[in-house]
């Protein structure tokens, strides 16, 4: 009887320490090293896995301050060629229990950037399935750049319009004074209207309309 | 240029009077050859004229080469739905250009140069009852000018936004929780979102106006002031502006062609462009669209060309001008289409690669295979192998079908094409802001040079009709016209503005042009008299137009235009009118949903298409009634 109890205790102990995929406390990790680094991709081997476990331990230490996590607290299983695997975190205080998903998730979120940098990867190439990456908000400058461009263009165009209008007014004034001087001298009027503006309708044709009988 | 020796003998007796409608009083309304020579010499001080021939040709080229080539042409090719081969559109376009475009072009050039007036003046001189045709041209030019400048406003908005890195259409904004991107952007694409949401803030139907979108008002203000400064002094400012606006696009197109050809997949696009497909050639819709596009792209029936050629010296060789312009327009259309399709090919290839990449990642993740197991090269076999070994798993995955043909002919339908397809291609090029600035400056120049001609065709008739007091100088007339136009275009600054632009483009820019063109050719040949016209041309350039012109003017061109017009009206009247909307809640999102127009739109369609087309008979009728009333009063007096 006692032996059975001992075996059961031993078995549960072992079970608690064996990593299983799809366990409630387990996360799947996927690395896309070749996509991220191309030619400079490093090969995934046990040393890299050791680094991963160390980085995770570092993240857990930062999150649960006081508890000194070690590489042995991080259990890894089901490694594949894809470079994906499952991991679980054992508690420091109670080696038979596992840390809950929420704590693991928060720890990873806090130290995500450090974890990525350790492997020269990004949020998209080092995926923790189930943990959404916090997206960097797009850079929004203080003054919208389009306003600046608009201001420049409108300024130039406005200046041009003012120039043309002023020039036209000045020209007209000059002609008026010229005409007045000519009249004062008694010169005969020009047949053609003195104004040299474009688009003045030639009046010689419109007279013909009176003749037309329809 | 040698002057014909028999010009001094002006007789009203023309040896062979073919079918010509009676037109009494014509001799009094138009100056005979001697008088017009003398007037030309005297007029040298009064009437505006071109600084040099190059300025005239550049203005006409700028007028003809416009957004129609880069924006409307590609989207017309794909507007039939399904896989449409643009090569099928190119051939009818070129054929109709020769049979319909060039004869009408010479007609407008010669009549303007001979009678030395704008569009209203010319038709009024031929017969005062026909003044309505000039009014039609003016209305059409005005309506087209309104929405054309709205597109220029969109271009300006994009141009202003191109001076930043990364470009604003490269990224989606985050949603409120910052856990993901805005749903609308996520489901469609960053460029779609930037165009439909950020730029236009589109509502989901034409009836839902949704208020004014302020960025659009600002852009419209910029657009109208820019065109104002170009036209402020008529052709003396416009003629200088075209040195830049007409020439720059060619250089930019060349740069894009070189850049485009070096992009991956560009040749796919070019091959796609030049694939002739016989079935499409038989489709009457293709010929319809090609015919209307010839009118639209040549600026025929807009009235601007008549006005421009009236500023020419009397003995300018307008026949050569017509031929040069036709050749240049045709060549530029093909050239611009090629550049457009290298970019489309590049974009299609990029999308195809992305599609395959996505599928590869899905497969690798599902089966936990090593990263280099499936590449683009062995994707097909790997997929087949996996599908045959684990069919259930594969079915459960989200594998998309990647079809290159589909991407090439993909319905980026409607006026958004240039803003969506090109901007997407640009963000995939290195140094994107530079390419974006270059591209939108080119579009701006293309738009401006056409608008200059369009508003020539509005302002000159307004003066001829004495709408403004004669004492008002050109600056004030232009200013008032553009201010009125700006206020009207606030219609397009609403949230439903995009749908209004499409409406205007479909109806104001198609049927009225065909009607006016038909009337023009019939009037010159059968009311003015083609014999008299031939003599005029002989007087101006020294030789009578040859057999090609005679045949096309008398039979071929009017017949083609009539056939296209009838077919067009029949097909439009048959179906229910539908339009495409951007509706995030629709089933096919992000594809545009096809929705029928509300009933009140039919009234608007009649205003846009019917009023300009019917202005000629309506005016003639009014004049008849007015004269009858006057005669009655006169007889009653005695």
Task: Tell me the CA distances in angstroms from B268 to B80, B263, B344, one per residue in order.
Answer: 21, 11, 9
Q: Among partner residues B159, B222, B232, which is closest to A161 by beta-carbon distance? A: B232
Closest C-alpha to B626, from B128, B6, B185, B55: B128
- Cβ B218–A141 below 8 Å, yes or no? no
Residue B105 has pLDDT above 90, yes or no: yes
Indicate the range of A14-23, A65-74, B267-276, B527-536 predicted with least confidence: A14-23
Among chain B residues, the shortest Cα distance to A133 is held by: B179
Phi and psi dihedrals of B175, rounded to 5?
-80, -175
Size of interface A-B (CB pairs under 8 A): 137
Mark yes or no for CB contact B474/A164 under 8 Å: no
* ipTM of this predicted structure: 0.74
Contact B28 A164 (CB under 8 A): no
Give the minimum alpha-carbon distance from A150 to chain B in angstroms, rounded to a whole number. 6
A34, B459: Cβ pair inside 8 Å?
Answer: no
Banded model confidence at residue B143, pLDDT cuts 50, 70, 90: very high
| Residues sharing a CB contact under 8 Å with residue B449, sequence separation 6 or more, in sequence order | B59, B62, B63, B65, B66, B241, B242, B245, B246
What's the pLDDT score for residue A208? 42
Residues of B in Cβ contact (< 8 Å) with A139:
166
- Give B463's contacts in chain A (Cβ within 8 Å): 199, 201
CB-CB under 8 Å, A193 with B473: no
pLDDT digits (tens, 9 = 90+) for B203-251: 888 888 888 999 999 999 999 999 999 888 878 888 888 888 889 999 9
Angle among Cα B61, B63, B66 to the nearest 5 degrees reads 95
CA distance A96 to chain B (A): 30
Q: Is the pLDDT at B38 greater than 90, yes or no? A: no
Alpha-carbon span A71 to A69, nearest angstrom:
7
What confidence tier does B8 reach under pLDDT thresholds 50, 70, 90?
very low
Q: Tell me what the pLDDT averaged over chain B comes to.
A: 84
pLDDT number for residue B80? 43
- Gap from A19 CA to chain B (nearest CA, Å): 18
* DSSP three-state, residue B474: helix
Residues B506 and B498 sit within 8 Å (Cβ to Cβ): no
Q: Is there a contact between B180 and A135 (Cβ–Cβ < 8 Å)?
A: yes
Q: Is A38 on the interface with B (CB under 8 A)?
A: no
pLDDT in tens, B479-518: 999 999 999 999 999 999 999 998 898 888 788 888 999 9
Are residues B163 and A158, on separate chains, in Cβ contact within 8 Å?
A: no
Q: Say yes or no for a CB contact (<8 Å) between A149 and B159.
A: yes
Q: How far is the alpha carbon of A139 from chain B, nearest alpha carbon, in Å?
A: 9
Give B116 to chain A, closest Cα distance, Å: 10
Residues A82, A85: Cα–Cα separation, whole Å: 9
Inter-chain contact A135–B180, Cβ cutoff 8 Å?
yes
Q: What pLDDT does B347 receive? A: 83
* Residue of chain B whose Cα is closest to the Cα of A194: B46
What DSSP designation does B199 have?
I
From chain B, the residues in CB contact with A199 under 8 A are: 48, 234, 459-460, 463, 474, 477
Nearest CA in chain B to A153: B222
Which residue in the set A81, A134, A199 is minimally distant from B370, CB to CB? Answer: A81
Query: pTM value?
Result: 0.82
Chain A nearest-CA residue for B153? A150
Whether the CB of A150 is below 8 Å from some CB of chain B: the reply is yes
Interval B439-490: pLDDT, tens: 999 999 999 989 988 998 899 899 888 888 888 888 889 999 999 999 999 9
A80 to chain B, any CB pair closer than 8 A? The answer is yes
Using omega within 30 degrees of 0 as the cis cutoff, is the peptide bond preceding B222 cis? no
pLDDT confidence band for B104 (50 / 70 / 90): very high
Q: Write down the pLDDT at residue B524.
A: 92
- To the nearest whole Å, the CA of B46 is away from the closest chain A CA by 6
Q: Which residues of B touch A209 (CB under 8 A)?
A: 29, 128
User: Using alpha carbons only, what angle is made at residue A111 by residues A105 and A116, rounded to the nearest 5 degrees?
Assistant: 105
The answer to whether A153 faces chain B, any CB pair under 8 Å, is yes
Tens of pLDDT, residues B551-602: 999 999 999 999 988 888 888 777 778 888 888 887 777 677 888 888 889 8
More confident residue, B480 or A189: B480
Do A213 and B25 lie within an 8 Å CB cutoff? yes
Greater confidence (B85 vs B420) lies with B420
CA A162 to chain centre: 43
Domain residue spans in chain A?
27-128, 146-178
Using the Cβ of A163 and the Cβ atoms of chain B, whether some distance falls under 8 Å is answered with no
Residues in chain B within 8 Å Cβ distance of A160: 229
Which residue in B has a C-alpha nearest to residue A172's C-alpha?
A: B473
Interface check for A148 against chain B (CB to CB < 8 A): the answer is: yes
User: CA-CA distances (angstroms) from residue A27 to A19, A23, A31, B156?
Assistant: 10, 8, 13, 50
3-state secondary structure chain A: CHHHHHHHHHHHHHHHHCCCCCCCCCEEEEECHHHHHHHHCCCCCHHHHHHHHHHHHHHHHHHCCCCCCCHHHEEEECCCCCCEEEEEEECCCCCCCECCHHHHHHHHHHCHHHHHHHCCCCCCCEEEECCCCCCCCCCCCCCCHHHHHHHHHHHHHHHHHHHHHHHHHHHHHHHHHHHHHHHHHCCCCCCCCCCCCCCCCCCCCCCHHHHCCC
A186 close contact with B: CB closer than 8 A: no
Which token pair is A5? 């109890």
Binary contact (B160, A168; C-beta < 8 A): no
């Amino acid at each position: 009887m006692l032996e059975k109890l001992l075996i059961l205790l031993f078995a549960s102990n072992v079970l608690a320490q064996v990593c299983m995929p799809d366990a409630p406390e387990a996360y799947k990790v996927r690395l896309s090293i070749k996509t991220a680094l191309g030619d400079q991709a490093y090969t995934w081997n046990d040393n890299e896995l050791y680094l991963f476990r160390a980085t995770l331990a570092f993240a857990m230490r930062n999150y649960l301050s006081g508890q000194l996590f070690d590489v042995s607290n991080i259990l890894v299983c089901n490694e594949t060629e894809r470079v994906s695997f499952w991991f679980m975190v054992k508690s420091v205080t109670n080696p038979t229990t596992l840390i809950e998903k929420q704590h693991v998730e928060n720890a990873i979120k806090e130290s995500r950037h450090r974890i990525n940098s350790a492997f020269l990867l990004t949020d998209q190439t080092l995926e923790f399935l189930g943990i959404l990456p916090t997206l960097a908000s797009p850079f929004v400058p203080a003054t919208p750049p389009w306003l600046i461009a608009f201001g420049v263009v409108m300024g130039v165009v406005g200046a041009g319009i003012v120039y043309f209008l002023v020039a036209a007014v000045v020209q007209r004034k000059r002609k008026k004074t010229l005409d007045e001087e000519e009249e004062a001298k008694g010169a005969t009027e020009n047949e053609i209207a003195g104004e040299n503006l474009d688009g003045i309708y030639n009046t010689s044709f419109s007279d013909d309309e009176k003749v037309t009988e329809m | 240029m040698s002057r014909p020796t028999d010009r001094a003998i002006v007789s009203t007796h023309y040896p062979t009077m073919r079918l010509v409608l009676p037109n009494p009083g014509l001799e009094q309304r138009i100056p005979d050859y001697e008088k017009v020579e003398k007037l030309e010499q005297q007029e040298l001080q009064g009437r505006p004229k071109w600084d040099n021939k190059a300025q005239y040709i550049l203005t006409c080229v700028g007028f003809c080469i416009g957004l129609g080539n880069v924006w409307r042409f590609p989207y017309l090719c794909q507007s039939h739905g399904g896989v449409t081969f643009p090569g099928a559109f190119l051939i009818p376009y070129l054929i109709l250009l020769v049979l319909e475009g060039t004869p009408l072009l010479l007609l407008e050039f010669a009549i303007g140069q001979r009678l030395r007036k704008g569009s209203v003046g010319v038709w009024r001189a031929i017969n005062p009852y026909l003044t309505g045709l000039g009014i039609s041209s003016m209305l059409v030019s005005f309506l087209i000018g309104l929405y054309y400048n709205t597109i220029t406003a969109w271009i300006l908005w994009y141009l202003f936004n191109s001076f930043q890195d990364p470009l604003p259409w490269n990224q989606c904004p985050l949603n409120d929780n910052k856990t993901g991107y805005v749903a609308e952007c996520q489901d469609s694409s960053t460029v779609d979102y930037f165009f439909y949401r950020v730029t236009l803030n589109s509502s989901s139907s034409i009836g839902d106006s949704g208020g004014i979108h302020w960025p659009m008002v600002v852009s419209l203000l910029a657009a109208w002031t820019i065109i104002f400064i170009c036209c402020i002094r008529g052709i003396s400012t416009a003629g200088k502006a075209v040195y830049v606006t007409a020439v720059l696009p060619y250089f930019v197109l060349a740069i894009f062609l070189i850049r485009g050809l070096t992009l991956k997949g560009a040749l796919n696009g070019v091959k796609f462009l030049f694939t002739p497909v016989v079935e499409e050639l038989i489709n009457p819709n293709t010929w319809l669209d090609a015919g209307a596009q010839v009118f639209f792209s040549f600026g025929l029936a807009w009235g601007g060309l008549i006005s421009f050629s009236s500023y020419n010296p009397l003995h300018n060789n307008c026949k050569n001008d017509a031929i040069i312009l036709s050749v240049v327009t045709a060549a530029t259309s093909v050239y611009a289409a090629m550049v457009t399709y290298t970019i489309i090919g590049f974009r299609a290839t990029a999308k195809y690669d992305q599609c395959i990449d996505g599928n590869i990642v899905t497969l690798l993740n599902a089966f936990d295979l090593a990263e280099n197991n499936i590449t683009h090269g062995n994707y097909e076999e790997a997929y087949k192998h996996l599908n045959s070994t684990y069919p259930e798993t594969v079915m459960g995955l989200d594998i998309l079908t990647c079809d290159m043909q589909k991407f090439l002919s993909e319905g980026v339908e409607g006026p958004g094409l240039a803003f969506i397809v090109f901007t997407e291609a640009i963000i995939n090029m290195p140094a994107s802001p530079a390419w974006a600035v270059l591209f939108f400056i080119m579009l701006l120049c293309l738009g401006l040079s056409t608008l200059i001609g369009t508003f020539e065709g509005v302002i000159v008739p307004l003066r001829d009709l004495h709408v403004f007091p004669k004492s008002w100088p050109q600056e004030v007339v232009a200013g008032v016209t553009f201010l009125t136009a700006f206020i009207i275009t606030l219609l397009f600054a609403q949230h439903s503005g995009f749908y209004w632009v499409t409406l205007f483009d479909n109806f104001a820019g198609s049927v009225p042009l065909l009607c006016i063109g038909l009337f023009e050719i019939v009037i010159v040949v059968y009311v003015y008299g083609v014999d008299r016209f031939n003599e005029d041309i002989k007087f101006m350039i020294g030789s009578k137009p040859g057999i090609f012109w005679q045949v096309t003017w008398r039979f071929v061109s009017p017949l083609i235009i009539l056939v296209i017009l009838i077919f067009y009206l029949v097909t439009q009247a048959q179906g229910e009118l539908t339009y495409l909307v951007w509706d995030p809640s629709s089933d096919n999102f992000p594809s545009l949903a096809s929705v029928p127009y509300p009933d009140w739109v039919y009234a608007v369609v009649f205003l846009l298409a019917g009023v300009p087309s019917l202005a000629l008979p309506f005016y003639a009728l009014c004049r008849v009634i007015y004269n009858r009333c006057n005669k009655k009063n006169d007889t009653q007096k005695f």
